[in-house]
Structure formats: structure tokens, C-alpha cells
Chain A
Amino acid sequence: AQKVTQAQTEISVVEKEDVTLDCVYETRDTTYYLFWYKQPPSGELVFLIRRNSFDEQNEISGRYSWNFQKSTSSFNFTITASQVVDSAVYFCALSEAHTGFQKLVFGTGTRLLVSP
């Protein structure tokens, strides 16, 4: 069965601190896709990144970076030099290839509070 665990319910940091959001997943598929989404108070989910199971390269996009490790089934997200605008709920999600459609399985989310 597919499952995503985000053990950190809420994280509070002060602006300019670095912060890492953890994500651990479970799947029996060999081909799967991992995602991170940001949910600001307005409600919509904003796509941040997609990674497929065959690509373990870490990725950096500006202040954001992602560390994918299949050996530990983890896909962690780091924000460097956090800003107040980063305050939101962040979701990690998993989609399996065998279904033929996109069923995103989300974790319970991590609420990030960045104070000035």
C-alpha cells in the first residue's frame, strides 16, 4: 500500500534560518513519482517539484533544494534563508505508475511558520 509520512506537524523558525521538511514514503511499485506542494492560506496547492523514482539526483531551485534517497525512502525538502513568505503548509505526495491515472497520496502536511 502506498503511504506518505510527514512526521513534523509544525515547525517555527526565524527569518533567514534554514529549515528541512521531512518526507518518508512507502510503495511497492518500482516506478513512482514524488511531489512537493505548498498550500498558502488561500487554499490552492502550488506545485514545487516532481521527481521520478529513477532519478535520485538532488535538485536545487533558488532557495529550495530537495534530497531524494531511495535507500531510506525519503524525499526531504530544505529551504535556505527562510522568508516570511515561505509560511504555509507543505505537502509531500506520491503517485504510482501502475494505476494508469494520477492518484496523488498526500502526507498530513507540515505547517511552517517563519517569523520576522
Chain B
Amino acid sequence: ETGVTQSPTHLIKTRGQQVTLRCSSQSGHNTVSWYQQALGQGPQFIFQYYREEENGRGNFPPRFSGLQFPNYSSELNVNALELDDSALYLCASSPGGGTGNTEAFFGQGTRLTVV
């Protein structure tokens, strides 16, 4: 059973650019969530995808968007990067629709630096 894998592990982008981060969910998991973790802070919920549809969103602007594919893998896209977007981006997968009581399994994250 493979766990949650994210790519790339590190990334440096220039302000104003666009970035795509990727996540492969754990085998058998149909729900993927994305979190942003600024340095020294707890993770902040960005959104959740279930069966290729966004079914929950946190307080992030529309320039944060995502996709989920039929194999349940997912992408996080961020347009018009700002310096404050520098953070660790964590992907989590869970089974059964990812409802409130589900155990979420996290990947090791992508460290994004915007310069």
C-alpha cells in the first residue's frame, strides 16, 4: 500500500508566475484535500476534492484552484504568485468522501518559495 506522494518536494518561483503542485492519493482513497502551512503556523485548509468535484473550500482567493483526476490524484494550481504564498503545501487523502470524522493521511509536502 503506497502512501500519499507529492511532487515536487521543493520549488522556487518568481512573484507573478503560476505554479502547479501534484499529489497522488493513498490507494483506495477517493478524497483529496490541500492545506497551506506558513512557517511556524498550523496548516490552513484550502479545499477538498471528492469524485473530481470541489466539495469544500477554505478562505483562499480564486487564484488557488485545483483538479482531481479519475485515478483520484490531484493538482493544486496557484496563479499570480505573491510573496505570502511561500509555504509548505500539504496534500491529504482520505476514504469515503472525506467527511468530518475521517482520518486524513498526509504527504510530505511541497515547499514553495516565491521570490
Task: State A93–B99 Cα separation when bound (angstroms).
Answer: 14
A52 interface residue (CB < 8 Å to B): yes
Task: State A7–B3 Cα separation when bound (angstroms).
Answer: 32
B50 interface residue (CB < 8 Å to A): yes
Task: State A52–B102 Cα separation when bound (angstroms).
Answer: 11
Say yes or no: B42 contacts A101, CB within 8 Å.
no
Interface residues of A in 32-55 (CB under 8 A from B): 32-33, 37, 42-47, 50, 52
Task: State A104–B33 Cα separation when bound (angstroms).
Answer: 10
Residues of A within 8 Å of B, CB-based: how many? Answer: 29
Q: How far is the CB of A99 from chain B (nearest CB, A)?
A: 6
**Across-interface contacts of A106 in B (CB, < 8 A):** 42-44
Say yes or no: B100 contacts A32, CB within 8 Å.
yes
Which B residues are within 8 Å of any A CB, using their own CB?
4, 31, 33, 35, 40-45, 48, 50, 55-56, 58, 88, 90, 92, 94, 97-109, 111
A70 interface residue (CB < 8 Å to B): no
Say yes or no: A101 contacts B48, CB within 8 Å.
yes
Task: State A47–B50 Cα separation when bound (angstroms).
Answer: 21
**Across-interface contacts of A4 in B (CB, < 8 A):** 42
A16 interface residue (CB < 8 Å to B): no
A33 nearest in chain B by CB position: B101
Task: State A93–B100 Cα separation when bound (angstroms).
Answer: 11
Q: What are some 18 contacts across the A-B interface (CB < 8 A)?
A: A37-B106, A44-B4, A44-B109, A45-B43, A45-B106, A50-B101, A91-B43, A95-B100, A96-B100, A101-B48, A101-B97, A101-B98, A102-B56, A104-B33, A106-B42, A106-B43, A106-B44, A108-B42
A62 interface residue (CB < 8 Å to B): no
Task: State A33–B43 Cα separation when bound (angstroms).
Answer: 17
Task: Please pick, from A37, A47, A100, A109, the residue contacting B99 in the complex, using a CB distance under 8 A.
Answer: A100
